[in-house]
């Protein structure tokens, strides 16, 4: 039997890839060691967060499933960074770990064109430079036209707690052996990375009354654009709690350094810089008196608490001794110690912007195999890889997002152009056009692409088009509609704001940070019928307010995109041999041959490629 698209790995990348390919009409199979473990959260049972929430909203706007699963199984929803500008507002939810995995299995197992195969792949098979299939541990050979490899932390996975090391990609689960070795034979290069997870504590043993209380939002926003808000949230909502380490805790942890696999050199892989272990924190930030910890429930019916901020691979006895010195945890019971996982990854300059590998036609890498960290980064890559694998089978145009179009575009461009030597995590600061790439406008940016590949229904696209017209027409109206001083000034005086001299447009009044658009609209006596329509459309009203308040900044970002477009649109043939361009610098030639950029814009972002190299390339391409 031959599949159009074969997906290896049932994590967040694999789920998105398999679902997208199947919905696009391809005969698809998902190979996983345990079908009931699909979508299992290896680390924190949470979705979203700073910048990661943007990725989830974008995945959803393209027709992915992570946002829907998060909404269905979320037990606390919060919008982060609300005290700052809308560019960095980021949705996050605490999920019920067990229910999330169950919902993922229910969705995937009921998806037409999609078969789940319980097995373990040990070899990738290619003929020449074309993918042919895989061989499994049960001696089965599965043929395919395209293959998406999304193996998570399982490739030669090794778990560490103190000086004890155990083979595995996740607690209680075996590693994947053989795939790395078969890819080496095909010419790929691999390296090692490390990630970690904190201890799990027994909920009933914690003194929550002594801790800071952290509730969710009173009127939470769902991740998915398709979630029925009238019944949202669907599950009971629970609080999280906050506590802190101190100097005494740090001294106890330091006692275990001589048995730390990280400090003794047992762990060779590089860990995440932006999510370090607790032992790494107290070394790197020795001047800090304390570190914040979040105690997060693993589920409504679970007695496990996840200690966010206390990721560690120190010996279990050191972990519990230190935990007992933390406020609220004096009598806590350790259910499972924290551990580090070391695993193989393949430096991502070996894939193209479609996530197809440069060596083997029809083979795609998605998720932690590309050196990323996090469920959301994995899901985004899985969706792009799944769409492109299906598009290749069906003869459709390839799917590539620009940096100016989506955080997903930033993520993949960073991986391909800059590669990574440590687990890559998405941040809002990585996106130079982040005011254009807000989480609130993901549908306006990306529904069209999702519809183009059959993942977003046409009626949803029509609704967005109607909203877009309402937003643009409202902005035009407010740019021209003026209010007289006699109407406005008493209102401004009551709010302690400076008055106007004669008249002022609605849009200019809305730019005042102290005023909401609803307040300003309330001052209009003779309202245009369109304003009534706008007031009934909460989503469109929010978009109008953001566009008006940040109009100058948004305009400058669009101008920046336009200036850069000449380089982004200057395409470079993937077959170009840079050794023939003699005027290039030696380092530039070497880096360009390695990455094989698609455009001058992409070439300009490669470390080691100078402005002079770009000018030479521009002249060479013109000739």
- What residues contact 304, with CB distance under 8 A and at least 6 apart? 200, 201, 202, 203, 297, 298, 335
Distance CA 479, CA 3 (A): 55
Cα angle: 45, vertex 51, 52; to 5 degrees: 30
> Is the pLDDT at 272 greater than 80, yes or no?
no
Q: Tell me the H-state helices in 441-585.
A: 442-452, 458-480, 485-494, 506-510, 517-521, 529-535, 538-549, 551-568
Using an 8 Å Cβ cutoff, are 346 and 189 in contact? yes
Identify the band that residue 269 occupies on the pLDDT scale cut at 50, 70 and 90. Answer: confident
Question: Residues 2-18: pLDDT tens digits?
Answer: 999 999 999 999 999 99
Q: In angstroms, what CA-CA distances link 116 with 7, 14, 134? A: 10, 11, 15
Q: Return the pLDDT at 559.
A: 93
Using an 8 Å Cβ cutoff, are 190 and 344 in contact? yes
User: Rounded mean pLDDT of 489-504?
Assistant: 92
pTM assigned to the model: 0.95
Distance CA 88, CA 80 (A): 8
Residue 92 in 3-state DSSP? strand
Q: Return the pLDDT at 232.
A: 97
User: Rounded mean pLDDT of 534-538?
Assistant: 95
User: Rounded mean pLDDT of 487-511?
Assistant: 92
Distance CA 378, CA 367 (A): 4
Cα angle: 329, vertex 330, 331; to 5 degrees: 90
Identify the band that residue 174 occupies on the pLDDT scale cut at 50, 70 and 90. Answer: confident
* Burial environment of residue 279 by CB neighbours within 10 A (0 to 12, 13 to 18, 19 or more): buried
Distance CA 241, CA 306 (A): 11
User: Rounded mean pLDDT of 35-59?
Assistant: 96
* CA atoms in the 13 A half-sphere facing the CB of 314: 25
- The tokens for 569 are 């649109």
Give the burial string for 409-431 (b: 16+ CB within 10 Å, else e): bbbbbbbbbebbeebbbbebebb
Using an 8 Å Cβ cutoff, are 55 and 434 in contact? no
* Burial environment of residue 189 by CB neighbours within 10 A (0 to 12, 13 to 18, 19 or more): exposed
Q: Which region among 45-49, 158-162, 539-543 has the lowest average model confidence (pLDDT)? A: 158-162
Query: What percentage of the chain has pLDDT greater than the value 90?
Result: 86
User: Rounded mean pLDDT of 542-562?
Assistant: 95
Q: Return the pLDDT at 574.
A: 85
Spatial CA neighbour of 275 closest among 43, 435, 83, 548: 43
Question: Residues 210-234: pLDDT tens digits?
Answer: 999 999 999 999 999 999 999 999 9
> Is the pLDDT at 95 greater than 90, yes or no?
yes
Other beta carbons within 10 angstroms of residue 134's beta carbon come to 24
Give the burial string for 555-580 (b: 16+ CB within 10 Å, else e): eebeeebeebeebbebebeeebebee
> Is the pLDDT at 452 greater than 90, yes or no?
yes
- The tokens for 404 are 């100016």
Question: Residues 383-424: pLDDT tens digits?
Answer: 999 999 999 999 999 999 999 999 999 999 999 999 998 999
**Domains of the chain: residue spans and CATH:** 2-195+343-452 (3.50.50.60), 200-339 (2.40.30.260), 458-555 (1.10.10.1800), 570-622 (1.10.150.570)
Using an 8 Å Cβ cutoff, are 1 and 142 in contact? yes
More reliable by pLDDT, 357 or 487? 357
Give the single-character DSSP code of 361: B
* CA atoms in the 13 A half-sphere facing the CB of 105: 16
Q: Return the pLDDT at 274.
A: 73
Distance CA 611, CA 55 (A): 31
Taking the mean position of all CA atoms in its chain, how far away is CA 70?
13
- The tokens for 454 are 């059959």
- What residues contact 566, with CB distance under 8 A and at least 6 apart? none
Distance CA 337, CA 246 (A): 20
Residue 43 in 3-state DSSP? coil
Report the mean per-residue pLDDT for the chain. Answer: 94
> Is the pLDDT at 150 greater than 80, yes or no?
yes
> Is the pLDDT at 172 greater than 90, yes or no?
no
């Amino acid at each position: 039997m031959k599949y159009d698209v074969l997906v290896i790995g049932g994590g967040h990348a694999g789920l998105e890839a398999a679902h997208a390919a199947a919905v696009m009409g391809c005969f698809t199979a998902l190979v996983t060691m345990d079908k009931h473990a699909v979508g299992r959260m290896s680390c924190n049972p949470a979705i979203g967060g700073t910048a990661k929430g943007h990725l989830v909203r974008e995945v959803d706007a393209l027709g992915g499933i992570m946002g829907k699963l998060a909404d269905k199984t979320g037990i606390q929803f919060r919008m982060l960074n609300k005290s700052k500008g809308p560019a960095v507002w980021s949705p996050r939810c605490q999920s019920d770990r067990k229910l999330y995995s169950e919902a993922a299995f229910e969705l995937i197992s009921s998806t037409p064109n999609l078969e789940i195969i319980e097995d373990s792949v040990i070899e990738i098979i290619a003929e020449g430079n074309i993918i042919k299939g895989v061989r499994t541990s049960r001696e089965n050979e599965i043929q395919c036209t395209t293959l998406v490899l999304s193996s998570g932390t399982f490739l030669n996975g090794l778990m560490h707690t103190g000086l004890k090391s155990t083979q595995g990609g996740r607690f209680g689960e075996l590693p994947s052996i053989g795939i790395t070795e078969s890819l080496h034979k095909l010419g790929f290069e691999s390296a090692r990375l490390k990630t970690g997870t904190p201890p799990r504590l027994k909920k009933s043993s914690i003194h929550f009354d002594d801790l800071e209380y952290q509730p969710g939002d009173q009127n939470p926003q769902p991740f998915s654009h398709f979630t029925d808000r009238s019944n949202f949230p669907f599950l009971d909502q629970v609080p999280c709690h906050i506590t802190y380490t101190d100097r005494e805790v740090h001294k106890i942890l330091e006692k275990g350094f001589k048995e730390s696999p990280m400090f003794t050199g047992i762990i060779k892989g590089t860990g995440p810089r932006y999510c370090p272990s607790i032992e790494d924190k107290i070394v790197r930030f020795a001047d800090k008196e304390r570190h914040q910890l979040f105690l997060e429930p693993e589920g409504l019916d679970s007695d496990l608490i996840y200690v966010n901020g206390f990721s560690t691979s120190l010996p279990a006895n050191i972990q519990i001794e230190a935990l007992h010195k933390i406020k609220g945890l004096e009598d806590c019971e350790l259910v499972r110690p924290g551990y580090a996982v070391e695993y193989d990854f393949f430096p991502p300059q070996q894939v193209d912007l479609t996530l197809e590998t440069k060596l083997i036609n029809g083979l795609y890498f998605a998720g932690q195999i590309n050196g990323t960290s996090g469920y959301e980064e994995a899901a985004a890559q899985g969706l792009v890889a799944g769409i492109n694998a299906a598009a290749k089978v069906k003869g459709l145009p390839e799917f590539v997002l620009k940096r100016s179009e989506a955080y997903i575009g930033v993520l993949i461009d960073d991986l391909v152009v800059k590669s990574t030597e440590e687990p890559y995590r998405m941040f809002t600061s990585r996106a130079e056009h982040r005011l254009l790439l807000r989480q609130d406008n993901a549908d306006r940016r990306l529904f069209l692409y999702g519809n183009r590949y059959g993942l977003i229904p046409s009626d949803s696209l029509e609704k967005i088009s109607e909203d877009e017209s309402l937003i643009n027409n409202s902005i035009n109206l407010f740019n021209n509609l003026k209010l007289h001083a006699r109407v406005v000034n008493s209102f401004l005086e009551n709010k302690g704001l400076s008055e106007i001299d004669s008249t002022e447009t609605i849009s200019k009044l809305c730019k005042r940070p102290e005023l909401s658009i609803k307040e300003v609209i309330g001052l209009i006596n003779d309202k245009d019928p369109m304003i009534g329509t706008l007031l009934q459309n909460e989503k469109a009203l929010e978009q109008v307010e953001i566009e008006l308040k940040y109009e100058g900044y948004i305009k400058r970002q669009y101008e920046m995109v336009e200036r850069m477009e000449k380089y982004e649109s200057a395409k470079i043939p993937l077959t170009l041999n840079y050794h023939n361009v003699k005027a290039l610098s030696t380092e530039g030639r070497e880096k360009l041959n390695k990455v094989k950029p698609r455009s001058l814009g992409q070439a300009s972002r490669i470390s080691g490629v100078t402005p002079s190299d770009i000018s030479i390339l521009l002249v060479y391409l013109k000739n």
